[in-house]
Structure 1
Amino acid sequence: MTRVVMLGGGYVTLHAYATLARRRARDLRSGDLEIMVLSADTAHRFHGFTGELVAGMVDRDRLATPLGEAMPLARIVTGRAVSIDPVAQSVSYRAPGEAAEQTVTYDHLVVGTGATEPTAAVAGLGELGFTLRGPDEIAALADHLATVPGSPVVVAGGGIAGTELAAAIADRGHPVTLVHSGVRLMPEWSDQPRLVTHAAAELDRLGVRVVTGRRLTEVTPTAAILSDGSSLPTTTVVAAVGQRPVRIAGLDPWRDDRGRLLTQPTLAVRYGVWAAGDGARVEHPVTGEPVPANALWAMKGGDHIGRSIARRLSRRSPRRFTYRGLGRAASFGFGRGISELYGVPFTGAVAWLLRLVFFLRFMPSRRRAAGVVADLARVAATPAGGRGIRSSQPLPSMPARVLTSESA
């Protein structure tokens, strides 16, 4: 039996599984091939509609697909990888609540563990806050905001993730201050100044206050402290200030200075080890520059890894990763957004619809995608343009927390 071990339950793993299972379905059913998915989370979290969930437009259950449902031919193991031995081709992991480690061998290993927020970089963030990359954390943010209606919120980080999230929170009726250490918002979109200007106008429409040239340095239970010494009273701080790859012992010789796994043009790290997504340095096939750390590139990287492993199992050489990119999009409320498709910019309802169709296409569950459409149709039918499909199971009231958002 050939065993493929996949680490993480995100986009890389989901798409590597789907492609490999499609190409080697007979081997999976006969038992000649086993795909084992090792993940600390029991569900795949689709982050494309994060803004809609935070704004209360989409129910939380639409965006969480149990791994067993998303990858029915895989063996799902709940646990966290502790170390990798690339010589023995084994992974040691620890199951929840277990002190002892277990070890599993592999013929091929897919590392899709992604990245976490650098909470240690801001005083008080690690002690007071929680990140949005963990299980159900995005839904927890929406529930938290419901416990403090109308309270001021500070969003740190003016990239696309922070900008979109600030708009979503403001759309719930919270006064929002967006703090950005740079001079201009959305530096990832510097090649589309018209879209950046449009995004700034949308923030202004929603009443978001933008503070540039300052960064978040400390968080207290009642305030956000900035680098110039000023203080912003708040009960909630949302930080979208970057990411740090998850490091698993054993692969350090193949990491760059930022901790990302260095990949070859085939997306192999070394023979039998593959990587893509936020935790990997994947070079663009044309420019040679690192590709963006976002969901689409993780999906396409996972697809390519699945094809590469299938080719290896057929005793053929893997091919080079040739995907060149498609576009980008962001939402600023129902029916309002910006997008770029093959370099062509769009704004308003057209941009929002392009984004909607794209994300629906890549959701792992058709049933849940239909649920998103139903939720948004309900929003469209409300007189106010629809704030507030609330979670069916809100969290109990909690003390002020610091929340961190992914930049993907």
Structure 2
Amino acid sequence: MSRPRIVIVGAGFAGFRAARTLERAARGRADITLLNPTDYFLYLPLLPQVASGVLEARRVTVSLPGTLRGVRHVLGEAGRIDLDARTVHYTGPEDDTGTLSYDRLVLAAGSVNKLLPIPGVAEHAHGFRGLPEALYLRDHITRQVELAASADNAAERVARCTFAVVGAGYTGTEVAAHGQLFTDSLTRSQPSLKDLRPRWLLLDVASRVLPELDERLSRTADRVLRERGVEVRTETSVKEATPDGVLLTDGEFVDTRTLVWCVGVRPDPLVDSLGLPLERGRLLVGPTLQVPGRPEVFACGDAAAVPDLENPGQYTPMTAQHAWRQGQVAGRNVAASLGGGEPRPYRHRNLGFVVDLGGAQAAADPLGIPLSGVPAGLVTRGYHLAAMPGNRVRVAADWLLDAVLPRQSVQLGLVRSWSVPLDTASPELARVPGGRRAASSGPGAAHTGDTGNSSAPLVAPSTGTPKNPRPDTPSEGGQ
């Protein structure tokens, strides 16, 4: 008798945890396949530290083959799922195609940048969902400071040292907090900028930063940001973006070459292609994470609308904390559906949140106890070290080095502006010259070939497309 075939789509928080749980539960009694565009799991909460030069990029990645030894890993993007035939069709990194058959399917495709119909944003802003975007932002910020230092015009120096972040949730708040420290460090090494303080703006239509968290955490983050010099603009957003700056909804035009888009996320377009009931773009599932009418299909993480049993009538929010725990429950319930016990519903009690504000500063409320300053910083870093499934020693070593050594103000130029467009369903993959990836390509999108540059560089001609791009140039970055 053949062993049951389990296919997991996506290796984010939910997919990685589901694969690891199933690997331990199956003990060789099932064939487990993990389909993912990259060969690593990305620990997203530390991505702002990559963009600000605290951590090297590989520190926040965990090898899938090296960690999930009992799981078959297939490099590729899911393009179509035939629920009746129980097959997943995918496209590999070299345009090769393949098909995976399954007896059980776990959909953990995750999310992509959330777009709003604001003129110029898709062309002039960059998101912050994948490693390529973080690497690009690190280079971009460094380049702006270096170009400002060599500029003869005072207005240009100010514009290049002005940085706008839209969205004051987890990601936007941490990007602005770390970014201010990073640019302060960069300008100190430039004698011509000694009298110029970099300007950071954090914009959000909400009435406070971190609107999804307790007000005490919000007040702590707001105070730290303002004391550091970040201009927090609540109930304000972008009305229009141009190559030279952004027009705000309050009527002010800000001269800047940097617009970081952190307004939130939307479910991966793959789930929309299934023709199943959705809740605001997320696939509806039951408490056991099974899709109604399709008991062989499970969904978890950002792509799934999971009933919140602690708050009847609501669905769990799209956070890493929920995705990580849902992945474990999905893995156990898949094993149970194959005769390995009884399925259990997903139920989660909030144990607190942490927000890293850079340096020794953080906001945290472990077990409901509000903390700020150094204690919160210690709790936050301790939490991340405990939560990471690998690389703990390397991350801790980078933190130690950052505390005693100046940051390296070097731009590598590995990821260009045009290779990380905001309007993409594949933030984990950088676009390659002459490649097939269009701005709308990725899981759930048709692979129709490259449609050109959908995201113009905000700055510097050096970010343009090479005159003679090689079609075999490898992509940078990943999941």
The answer on 1:369 being equivalent to 2:389 is no
Aligned equivalents of 1:124 and 1:312: distance in 2? 49
1:322 to partner: Cα distance:
2.2
Which residue is 2:264 aligned to? 242
* Matched AA of 2:36: S
* Matched AA of 1:252: G
What whole-Å deviation, never above 9, does each CA across 1:320-350 have from its counterpart, x for those lacking one? 1122222111111221101112222111111
Which residue is 1:185 aligned to? 209
Higher mean displacement: 294-303 or 112-121: 112-121
Aligned equivalents of 1:238 and 1:296: distance in 2? 24
- List aligned pairs for 1:294-313, cutoff 5 A: 294-313=319-338
TM-score, structure 1 normalization: 0.88
Aligned equivalents of 1:260 and 1:369: distance in 2? 33
Aligned length: 390
* Matched AA of 1:203: L
- List aligned pairs for 1:65-214, cutoff 5 A: 65-98=62-95, 101-119=97-115, 121-149=117-145, 151-173=161-183, 174-189=198-213, 192-214=214-236
Which residue is 2:306 aligned to? 282
Q: Is the 8 A contact 1:59 1:389 kept in 2?
A: no
Aligned equivalents of 2:421 and 2:81: distance in 1? 33
Q: Is the 8 A contact 1:182 1:213 kept in 2?
A: yes
1:318 to partner: Cα distance:
1.0
Per residue, is there more strand in 1 or in 2? 1
1:120 to partner: Cα distance:
5.3
Higher mean displacement: 280-289 or 164-173: 280-289
1:353 to partner: Cα distance:
1.3
* Matched AA of 2:78: A
What whole-Å deviation, never above 9, does each CA across 1:128-148 have from its counterpart, x for those lacking one? 444332453222222222222
Aligned equivalents of 1:402 and 1:20: distance in 2? 35
- Root-mean-square deviation over aligned CA pairs: 2.4
Larger radius of gyration: 2
Which residue is 2:11 aligned to? 9
Which residue is 2:355 aligned to? 330
Aligned equivalents of 2:93 and 2:345: distance in 1? 38
Q: Describe the SS at the equivalent of 2:386.
A: helix
Q: Describe the SS at the equivalent of 1:187.
A: coil
Q: 2:282 aligns with which of 239, 243, 260?
A: 260
Q: Describe the SS at the equivalent of 1:188.
A: coil
1:229 to partner: Cα distance:
3.9
Distance verdict in 2 for CA 1:147–1:255, change over 3 Å: same
The answer on 1:272 being equivalent to 2:296 is yes
Distance verdict in 2 for CA 1:22–1:36, change over 3 Å: same
Q: Is the 8 A contact 1:238 1:403 kept in 2?
A: no
Q: Which runs of 5+ in 2 are unaligned?
A: 146-159, 184-197, 428-479
Higher mean displacement: 275-284 or 394-403: 394-403
Aligned equivalents of 2:142 and 2:8: distance in 1? 36
Aligned equivalents of 2:311 and 2:34: distance in 1? 33
Which residue is 2:243 aligned to? 221
What whole-Å deviation, never above 9, does each CA across 1:38-90 have from its counterpart, x for those lacking one? 11233211112123222221111101223222322222112111122222211
1:390 to partner: Cα distance:
6.1
1:176 to partner: Cα distance:
0.5
What whole-Å deviation, never above 9, does each CA across 1:162-206 have from its counterpart, x for those lacking one? 1121111111124211111122221101xx222211111101121
Higher mean displacement: 326-335 or 297-306: 326-335
Q: Is the 8 A contact 1:125 1:402 kept in 2?
A: no
Distance verdict in 2 for CA 1:220–1:15, change over 3 Å: same
TM-score, structure 2 normalization: 0.76
Q: 1:47 aligns with which of 36, 44, 49?
A: 44
Q: Is the 8 A contact 1:144 1:397 kept in 2?
A: no
Q: Is the 8 A contact 1:236 1:403 kept in 2?
A: no
Distance verdict in 2 for CA 1:144–1:42, change over 3 Å: farther
Higher mean displacement: 341-350 or 244-253: 244-253
State the percentage of identical aligned residues: 30
Aligned equivalents of 1:356 and 1:219: distance in 2? 36
Q: Is the 8 A contact 1:284 1:324 kept in 2?
A: no
Aligned equivalents of 1:60 and 1:260: distance in 2? 30
* Matched AA of 1:109: L
Q: Is the 8 A contact 1:141 1:403 kept in 2?
A: no
Q: Which runs of 5+ in 1 are unaligned?
A: 28-32
Which residue is 2:274 aligned to? 251
Distance verdict in 2 for CA 1:398–1:234, change over 3 Å: farther
1:225 to partner: Cα distance:
2.2
* Matched AA of 1:320: P
Aligned equivalents of 2:135 and 2:69: distance in 1? 25
Q: 2:58 aligns with which of 44, 61, 73?
A: 61
The answer on 1:350 being equivalent to 2:375 is yes
Distance verdict in 2 for CA 1:356–1:71, change over 3 Å: same
